[in-house]
């Protein structure tokens, strides 16, 4: 009885603001960056993501609570590349210069990333993708985590120099684990190399580059624009010609279009998570890849 009471007290103490204030409050825009921040910061940071797990981060509407979170943030980490433009308004509202662009506590995680599919214009009639400043889904290449955690390490060391060595160690431990896992994922996905795949949204170029997967088409023409009949007919045609057996859908994407295309061609629908927490058993960055690799290999094994 006494031990249980002690446990409850301990839990309450851990959850109390007093304890939380000791830790560095980091606000990230997405759960992926939260997971990577936790990997580098360890016990010393309390990271919170503005976009809840399993919501579309490209289309998020900030809540009043988010302004409060930004007010108390020691560090802001964002995806950049026009992915989380919605954070600019609450940032302006909070008005703290240190977490705004150029401030010491502002981290654009896309810094130093080799960006794919750059088109130079944010919206053009000719390009099929509205991510004009490059495809923003760069965290889906596990190798890019090395660069992102590097940027995070630098930022954390800047605001908390006394613990810089601990952050450095955390990052090394994480990267060692990640590289071991990466080798495992690469072996597991080797049979899928060159296998044609269709996805709903173009979230996967970095993932495809790392694991040498062939995404041959996308069901939507631009983010948020429903497919037109001729585009859908074109996709079905491509899928029949190239014998595409796998259609990738993220949990927040419309079920019907994907199911329609799959039923016309007899392909399997594979649910993949493009962000940490979007599906069950994707609670951190490494688990995210574990789950996706698992889903892809089991779908490929079914044929």
Partner 1 sequence: MIEPLLFLWPSFLVAVCLVGIHAYFGIQVLARKVIFVDLALAQIAALGATVAFMLGHPAQSPATYGYSLSFTLLAAVLLAFTRSWGTRVPQEALIGVIYVVAAAAAILLIDRAPQGAEHLKQILTGNILTSGFNEIAVIVPLYAAVGVLHWLLRHRMTGTGALIWEFVFYASFGVVVTSSVTIAGVLLVFSFLIIPAAIGVMFASTLANQLAIGWIVGTFTSAVGLAASFAFDLPTGAAMVCAFGVALAVAGLLYPFLRGNRQIAWRVMITAARWTGATILAGSALQLAVTPRADQPLIDLIEYAVPSLRTLYFTRAELTTFVDASEYAERYRNEAEQLNDVERRNRTEGAALDDFSVARISSFLKSYGEMRKGEQFVMGEVRARARERIRWGASLGLLAFALLVAPVPWRRLWVRAKR
Q: Give me the long-range contacts of 169-176 (CB less than 8 A, separation at least 24).
A: 170/39, 170/40, 170/41, 170/42, 171/39, 171/40, 174/39, 174/40, 174/149, 175/145, 175/146, 175/149
7-26: contacts with partner 1 (CB under 8 A): none
Draw the binding track, 230-269, toward partner 1 (x: CB under 8 A; -: no contact): xxxx-----------------xxxxxxx-xx---------
Of the two residues 122 and 298, which places its CB atom closer to partner 1 in the complex? 122
Find out whether 171 and 39 touch, Cβ atoms under 8 Å.
yes
Of the two residues 34 and 74, which places its CB atom closer to partner 1 in the complex? 34
Could you give the CA distance from residue 145 to residue 117 in angstroms, rounded to a whole number?
A: 19
Could you give the CA distance from residue 134 to residue 246 in angstroms, rounded to a whole number?
A: 25
Task: Please state the closest distance from residue 194 (CB atom) to partner 1, in A.
Answer: 5
Q: How many CA atoms lie within 13 A of 47 on its CB side?
A: 26
Single out the residue of 103, 191, 226, 266 in contact with partner 1 (rule: CB under 8 A): 226
Which residues does residue 249 pair with via DSSP β-bridges, in sequence order? 271
Number of residues located near partner 1, criterion CB under 8 A? 44
CA 44 to mean position of chain CA atoms: 22
Could you give the CA distance from residue 134 to residue 115 in angstroms, rounded to a whole number?
A: 6
Residue 225, number of CB atoms within 10 A of its CB: 10
Give me the residue label for tokens 């259609």: 247
Of the two residues 74 and 131, which places its CB atom closer to partner 1 in the complex? 131
Draw the binding track, 39-78, toward partner 1 (x: CB under 8 A; -: no contact): -------------x-xxx--x-------------------
- Asked whether position 180 contacts partner 1 by CB under 8 A, the answer is no
Of the two residues 38 and 253, which places its CB atom closer to partner 1 in the complex? 253
Task: Please state the closest distance from residue 249 (CB atom) to partner 1, in A.
Answer: 11
Single out the residue of 143, 181, 188, 242 in contact with partner 1 (rule: CB under 8 A): 143
- Asked whether position 125 contacts partner 1 by CB under 8 A, the answer is no
Find out whether 28 and 246 touch, Cβ atoms under 8 Å.
no
Contacting range for partner 1; rule: CB under 8 A; set: 9-17, 65-73, 90-98, 108-116: 108-116
Give the single-character DSSP code of 84. S
Of the two residues 28 and 202, which places its CB atom closer to partner 1 in the complex? 202
Single out the residue of 178, 208, 274, 286 in contact with partner 1 (rule: CB under 8 A): 208
- Asked whether position 190 contacts partner 1 by CB under 8 A, the answer is no
Single out the residue of 64, 102, 161, 194 in contact with partner 1 (rule: CB under 8 A): 194
Which residues does residue 108 pair with via DSSP β-bridges, in sequence order? 78
- Asked whether position 121 contacts partner 1 by CB under 8 A, the answer is yes
Cα-Cα-Cα-Cα dihedral of 99, 252, 61, 218, to 10°?
A: 80
Which residues does residue 24 pair with via DSSP β-bridges, in sequence order? 45
Residue ranges that bind partner 1, judged by CB under 8 A: 52, 54-56, 59, 114-121, 126, 134, 143, 193-194, 205, 208-209, 212-214, 221, 225-233, 251-257, 259-260, 278
């Amino acid at each position: 009885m006494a031990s249980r009471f002690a446990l409850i007290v301990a839990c309450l103490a851990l959850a109390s603001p007093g304890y939380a204030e000791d830790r560095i409050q980091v606000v990230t825009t997405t759960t992926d960056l939260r997971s990577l921040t936790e990997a580098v910061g360890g016990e010393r940071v309390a990271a919170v993501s503005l976009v809840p797990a399993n919501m579309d981060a490209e289309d998020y509407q900030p809540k009043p609570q988010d302004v409060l979170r930004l007010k108390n943030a020691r560090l802001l980490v964002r995806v950049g590349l026009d992915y989380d433009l919605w954070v600019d308004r609450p940032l302006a509202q909070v008005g703290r210069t240190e977490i705004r662009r150029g401030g010491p506590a502002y981290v654009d995680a896309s810094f130093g990333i080799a960006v794919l599919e750059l088109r130079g214009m944010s919206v053009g009639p000719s390009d099929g993708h509205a991510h004009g400043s490059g495809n923003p889904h760069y965290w889906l290449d596990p190798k890019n985590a090395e660069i992102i955690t590097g940027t995070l390490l630098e930022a954390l060391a800047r605001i908390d120099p006394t613990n810089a060595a601990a952050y450095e160690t955390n990052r090394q431990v994480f990267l060692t684990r990640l590289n071991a896992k990466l080798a495992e994922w690469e072996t597991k996905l080797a049979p899928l190399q060159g296998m044609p795949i269709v996805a709903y949204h173009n979230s996967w170029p970095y993932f495809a580059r790392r694991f040498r997967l062939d995404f041959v088409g996308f069901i939507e023409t631009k983010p948020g624009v429903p497919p037109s009949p001729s585009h859908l007919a074109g996709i079905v045609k491509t899928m029949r010609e190239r014998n595409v057996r796998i259609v990738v859908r993220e949990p927040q994407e419309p079920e019907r279009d994907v199911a329609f295309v799959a039923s016309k061609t007899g392909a399997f629908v594979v649910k993949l998570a493009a962000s940490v927490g979007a599906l069950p058993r994707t609670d951190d960055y490494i688990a995210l890849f574990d789950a996706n690799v698992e889903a892809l290999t089991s779908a490929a094994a079914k044929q």
